[in-house]
Amino acid sequence: MPDFLSHIIRGRKSCPPRVAEQFEEVTGISRVVWVWGKSWEIRQAVENFVYSDSDSRGN
């Protein structure tokens, strides 16, 4: 899975709609971004999720 996610974030593969739905449930990042977003938009959304999530845990 990490390799698959890496390929999506780097724009090497597109995100299938069903996977995008699951990613949306877990991350709160819109499935529209996962499926149709440019690689930099996806990367920025993931970074925002990671850093906001770690801030809420106190890390």
Report pLDDT for 55. Answer: 56
CA distance 34 to 58: 27
34 to 4, 38, 39, 47: CA distances (angstroms): 13, 9, 9, 13
Q: Does residue 14 sit in helix, strand or coil?
A: coil
> Which tokens go with 26?
């877990």
Mean pLDDT, residues 14-29 taken together: 96
Phi first, then psi, for residue 36 (nearest 5°) are: -115, -5
Using the predicted structure, report yes or no on whether residue 26 has a pLDDT greater than 80: yes
Kindly report, residue by residue over 38-54, the tens digit of the pLDDT.
Answer: 999 999 999 999 998 55
Report pLDDT for 21. Answer: 97
> Which tokens go with 46?
């993931």
pTM recorded for the entire structure:
0.82
Radius of gyration of the chain (CA): 11
